[in-house]
Amino acid sequence: MPEPFEEALRQRLEAVRAQGLWRALRPVAGRSGAVLETGDDRLVSFAGNDYLGFSQHPAVLEAAARAVHDWGAGSAASRLISGSLGVHHQLEATLAEFLRTEAALGFATGHAAATGVIPALVGPGDAVIVDRLVHACCVDAARLSGAKLRVFRHNDLEDLDRILRWASGLPRDDAGGPRVLVVTEGVFSMDGDCAPLAGLVELKERHGAWLMLDEAHSTGVLGPEGRGLAAALGLGERIEVRMGTLGKALGASGGFIAGSRALVDLLVNRARSFIFSTAPVPAAAAAATAALELMITRDGEEARQRLRSVSADGARVVTRAFPEPSGAAVSEGSFGHILPVHVGYEAAATALADRLRAAGVWVPAIRYPTVARGSARLRLTFSAAHTEADLHSLEQALNRASIQTPPTPF
């Protein structure tokens, strides 16, 4: 006889606890700047992705409120039924202009963007080759596509070249396949380092593959006017698929795909996460549009400069607490707005995060399955919204947490 449902769940939850992987939702009652109110506590957060502080910018808030008044709280239908509102089209036109692409398409989430585009581009008989550290949504999407999934060592061009040579030997079909899609990130979300984009572009062109670049953590932060890593290196026109999020530096919510007009037209017809989803709420689209418009203004440039300064100061604070290079390292070529502190064991990372929270600072413990087993870490993210007082609170919390030795190096 099958075991009772609740008993089966209880046993699985006990296994999660035993592995040091227990997670629980922590309600946030209010937010001001980088300070979160959680019950009776006020915690300085180094856990969010609001890199430019735009989620609380007056122009972004005003645009969201105006959209609610003009369009309502929801979109009422999917885009292909009756939910393709003017506010969505304005966002997509602004995105395409900002990224210098022919077109763009918005999705309800970044995860939906990935799971929409990859299965629309490739399928059984094709190949998807992903960097080992790409976001889980890209791995999920590759599996959904039915294509052969291969993983190359993180930022290792030689390993990618080897797999691309393997892919070139896949059986041909009547449609001219197989199609080969390489997937990487501009700035990697858990390590803060950048992809070797010039080398990736050269390799995919040499082997006749396509490249999808996820700029979730580089849009708004890197490149001229925050246009991302591809723009910083002048490679935008040589990348087939540009993916990003509206919920990080842009301070709103949602995801997008940008590229050629043909790419967007294909997604409108083939991306299931677009076709079968109610359209994103109008307020989010309007807020993202306002944030994009801010990017090219003095406010945008000042926010990026502030982020650079805060990230550099924050790295110095953390490095004083973890003096070994293996403890906390800022990746070359990045703003340092994502700073991992490698711990190793899951339980140790959780205990360290708990001590910091007790000292008034919220820094998440990142554990399996977000990162590999045994590679747990603290992940600090910095924002233009952080003040000198916030960084002082971080330093005090690190001291009060009685951290005397650096975490276990990898």
Q: Kindly report, residue by residue over 343-387, the tens digit of the pLDDT.
A: 888 888 888 999 999 999 999 998 888 888 888 889 999 999 999
Ramachandran area for residue 192 (φ above 0: left; ψ -120 to 50: alpha; else beta):
left
CA 115, 119, 125, 126 torsion: positive or negative?
negative
- 326 and 10 Cβ atoms separated by less than 8 Å: no
Structure-token pair, residue 220: 């708004």
- 57 and 299 Cβ atoms separated by less than 8 Å: yes
* 189 counts as catalytic: yes
Structure-token pair, residue 218: 């580089």
For 96-105, 201-210, 353-362, which range has the lowest pLDDT when averaged over its residues?
A: 353-362
- 230 and 216 Cβ atoms separated by less than 8 Å: no
* 204 counts as catalytic: no
Q: 234-255, pLDDT tens digit by residue?
A: 999 999 999 999 999 999 999 9
Q: Which of 57, 88, 217, 337 is catalytic?
A: 217
Q: 27-86, pLDDT tens digit by residue?
A: 888 998 899 998 878 999 999 999 999 999 999 999 999 999 999 999 999 999 999 999
Q: Which of 57, 111, 148, 248 is catalytic?
A: 248
* 337 counts as catalytic: no
- 246 and 276 Cβ atoms separated by less than 8 Å: no
Residue type, 410: F
Nearest to 95 by CA among 237, 290, 323, 281: 290
Cβ-in-10-Å burial (0-12, 13-18, 19+) of 78 comes to middle
Euclidean distance between CA atoms 307 and 296, whole angstroms: 16
Rg of the chain over CA atoms, in angstroms?
A: 22
In the structure, what pLDDT confidence band is assigned to residue 93 with cuts at 50, 70 and 90?
Answer: very high
- 166 and 173 Cβ atoms separated by less than 8 Å: no
Average pLDDT over residues 162-190: 91
* 311 counts as catalytic: no
pLDDT at 327: 45
* 89 counts as catalytic: no
Average pLDDT over residues 259-275: 98
Coil/strand/helix, residue 318: helix
pLDDT at 356: 93
In the structure, what pLDDT confidence band is assigned to residue 323 with cuts at 50, 70 and 90?
Answer: low
pTM as predicted:
0.92
* 207 counts as catalytic: no
Nearest to 311 by CA among 35, 57, 31, 46: 46
In the structure, what pLDDT confidence band is assigned to residue 102 with cuts at 50, 70 and 90?
Answer: very high
User: Residue 311 to residues 218, 319, 384, 385: CA-CA distances in angstroms?
Assistant: 14, 12, 9, 11
The size of the chain, in residues, is: 410
pLDDT at 41: 86
Q: Which of 126, 193, 214, 346 is catalytic?
A: 214
Average pLDDT over residues 167-188: 89
* 55 counts as catalytic: no
Cα-based torsion angle of the residue sequence 219, 221, 224, 225 in order, rounded to the nearest 10 degrees: 90
Range among 9-23, 93-107, 315-329, 335-349 with highest mean pLDDT value: 93-107
Residue type, 170: L
In the sheet with 365-366, reading across from the earlier edge strand, the strands are: 338-344, 376-381, 365-366
pLDDT at 331: 41
Average pLDDT over residues 133-137: 96
Residue reference for tokens 């999660």: 16
pLDDT at 324: 58
Range among 16-20, 40-44, 159-163, 367-371 with highest mean pLDDT value: 159-163
Q: Which of 92, 185, 215, 346 is catalytic?
A: 185
Report the 10 Å Cβ neighbour count for 77: 13
Ramachandran area for residue 50 (φ above 0: left; ψ -120 to 50: alpha; else beta):
beta
Q: Which of 111, 135, 342, 386 is catalytic?
A: 135
pLDDT at 313: 94
For 148-152, 346-350, 367-371, 404-408, which range has the lowest pLDDT when averaged over its residues?
A: 404-408
Average pLDDT over residues 164-181: 87
pLDDT at 2: 64
Average pLDDT over residues 246-275: 97
Query: What is the rounded average pLDDT for all residues in the chain?
Result: 92
pLDDT at 310: 96
Q: Which of 155, 189, 253, 375 is catalytic?
A: 189
Structure-token pair, residue 233: 């290196």
Residue type, 332: E
pLDDT at 25: 87
Alpha helices by DSSP H, listed for 72-221, are: 86-99, 110-121, 136-145, 157-167, 197-207
